[in-house]
Amino acid sequence: MPLLYWLKKTGIDILNCENMSMSSKPKLAVSSCLLGKKVRYNGDAAEFRPLNRIWSEHLELIGVCPEVGIGMGVPRPTIRLVKNEERISLIDPKNGHDYTDAMLEYAEIQSDFLVASGISGFVFKKDSPSCGLERVKVYRGDNPQAVRDGAGLFAKVFTTLYPHIPVIEEGRLTDALQAEHFLARVHFFHEWQTIGEEGWTASKIMKFHAEHKLFLLSRAPDSKRMLGRIIAEGFDNDEHPENVALKYMTEAQKNLSTLTKRGRIAHAMERVVGRLPQISKPAKKELLEVIHSFRRGLLPRSAAMILLSHHINQHDANNPIHKNFVSPIPMEIGLMAKV
Ligand code: SF4
């Protein structure tokens, strides 16, 4: 069966993606309705415009609709999560039809397929009993009042199987700080994928960690030492480098799931300034003043980063530690000017 025909049948749409092999742009899986696909139960879409209009220039977007994937079609009846004792099921409340097993099987196969194709993150549609990551309505027995304490079944399977891959709901992407931080996690993950593509070795892991120290310091300062310990313990225990690399990324993404603060970014910027010994006193003073203004919220991060990049390029152009810190996401996405 031709690949594209099979993908359509299984609820996958591909934007800007000629094939599913590794490429230089990170691949992002997205709930299809967010990409403007009319796949919702009522035949509508729920387009989140920045994805199609801006993000698609820098990322390959792969749309996935789990409900279409299990053969529900469009339009279709609405389904809901129902909890009986400890089991949560995906049910059509009108006729009691149970879609749980079909969704669990689909989610496992499709998650494996997406990860094998090299996705670096997943944007899920909030509130959906299939795609929502958190606070999804769960009904108890016949009680008409739902409690918002569930996760969509497909999203739950994906995040359980692959906790090292960054995920977010589109509702959070309306906040520039959250969007920038998520994209930085995606690019960090993509770099890890690219470096590990031909297999991990001890020296590759240590190099990756060393080259991302400033990035980690600016986003999740406590994780730096913890990740160093994971590497050291892994090799003390003769663990396979692939296992160590996976543990490393799982722990890193867990730590990075908390939003960073201005002060942490500004602190990391000042560390870079301290590593530029050739910089003249007046230039250093000006740079520190700009960083201080950013810290106080008087200037956007892009202003301080551009000036910092200018001095890095003059004095220390090829140091990947600095590059990974000052360019965690493409400047053209415009988020650095808003945070
Ligand atoms: S929320 Fe998920 S299951 Fe529902 S229409 Fe969107 S992609 Fe399909």
Quick one: pLDDT band at residue 12, thresholds 50, 70, 90? low
Give pLDDT tens digits for 199-217: 999 999 999 999 999 999 9
Task: Tell me, in angstroms, the distance from the centre of ligand 1 to residue 177's CA.
Answer: 25
Mean pLDDT computed over 308-320:
82
215 or 5, which is more confident? 215
Reply yes or no on whether the pLDDT at 250 is more than 90.
Answer: yes
Q: Is 276 in a helix, a strand, or coil? A: coil
pLDDT value of residue 10: 56
**Which residue has the least CA distance to atom 4 on ligand 1?**
40
pLDDT value of residue 20: 44
pLDDT value of residue 23: 53
| C-alpha distances in Å from residue 266, one per residue of 156, 197, 204, 243, 270 | 35, 33, 29, 34, 6
Ligand 1: residue of 38, 79, 125, 153 to mutate (most ligand atoms within 8 A of CB) is: 125
The Cα–Cα gap between 294 and 177 comes to: 14
Reply yes or no on whether the pLDDT at 329 is more than 90.
Answer: no
pLDDT value of residue 100: 98
pLDDT value of residue 313: 86
Ligand 1, residue 68: give the atom nearest the CA.
Answer: 8
Ligand 1, residue 64: give the atom nearest the CA.
Answer: 7
- Whether the CA torsion 175, 178, 182, 184 is positive or negative: it is positive
Mean pLDDT computed over 23-28:
86
Quick one: pLDDT band at residue 317, thresholds 50, 70, 90? low
Ligand 1, residue 67: give the atom nearest the CA.
Answer: 3
The Cα–Cα gap between 263 and 295 comes to: 6
Ligand 1, residue 128: give the atom nearest the CA.
Answer: 1
pLDDT value of residue 5: 45
Contact 158, 151 (CB under 8 A): no
Residue 92, judged by CB atoms within 10 A of its CB (0-12, 13-18, 19+), counts as middle
Give pLDDT tens digits for 57-80: 999 999 999 999 999 999 999 999
Tell me if 65 CB under 6 Å of ligand 1.
yes
The DSSP secondary-structure symbol of 204 reads H
The Cα–Cα gap between 173 and 253 comes to: 18
The Cα–Cα gap between 302 and 327 comes to: 10
Mean pLDDT computed over 133-138:
98
Give pLDDT tens digits for 173-196: 999 999 999 999 999 999 999 999
Break the chain into its structural domains and give their ranges: 3-174, 175-339
**Element (DSSP H or E) covering residue 61:** strand 60-64
Mean pLDDT computed over 209-237:
94
Task: Tell me, in angstroms, the distance from the centre of ligand 1 to residue 93's CA.
Answer: 18
pLDDT value of residue 328: 79
Reply yes or no on whether the pLDDT at 34 is more than 90.
Answer: yes
| C-alpha distances in Å from residue 296, one per residue of 80, 148, 177 | 46, 37, 16
pLDDT value of residue 326: 78
Poorest-confidence range of 13-17, 309-313, 314-318? 13-17
Quick one: pLDDT band at residue 16, thresholds 50, 70, 90? very low
Give pLDDT tens digits for 97-120: 999 999 999 999 999 999 999 999
Reply yes or no on whether the pLDDT at 4 is more than 50.
Answer: no
Reply yes or no on whether the pLDDT at 253 is more than 90.
Answer: yes
Q: What is the CA radius of gyration of the chain?
A: 22
What beta strand segments (E) does 65-220 contain?
80-84, 87-91, 119-124, 136-140, 146-150, 167-169
First to last CA, the chain: 47
- Pairing type for strands 119-124 and 146-150 reads unpaired
Contact 272, 279 (CB under 8 A): no
Q: Which residue, chain included where needed, has tokens 């339009």? A: 75
Mean pLDDT of the chain: 91
Task: Tell me, in angstroms, the distance from the centre of ligand 1 to residue 319's CA.
Answer: 43
Tokens found for residue 199: 């297999």
Tell me if 223 CB under 6 Å of ligand 1.
no
pLDDT value of residue 1: 41
123 or 1, which is more confident? 123
Contact 323, 188 (CB under 8 A): no
Contact 153, 312 (CB under 8 A): no
Cβ–Cβ contacts within 10 Å for residue 17, how many? Answer: 18
Nearest to 111 by CA among 78, 152, 59: 152
pLDDT value of residue 185: 97
Mean pLDDT computed over 251-262:
94
Poorest-confidence range of 37-46, 288-297, 310-319? 310-319
Tokens found for residue 85: 């004792």
1 or 127, which is more confident? 127
Quick one: pLDDT band at residue 263, thresholds 50, 70, 90? very high
pLDDT value of residue 9: 53
Residue 306 CB partners (closer than 8 Å, separation 6+): none
Task: Tell me, in angstroms, the distance from the centre of ligand 1 to residue 229's CA.
Answer: 40
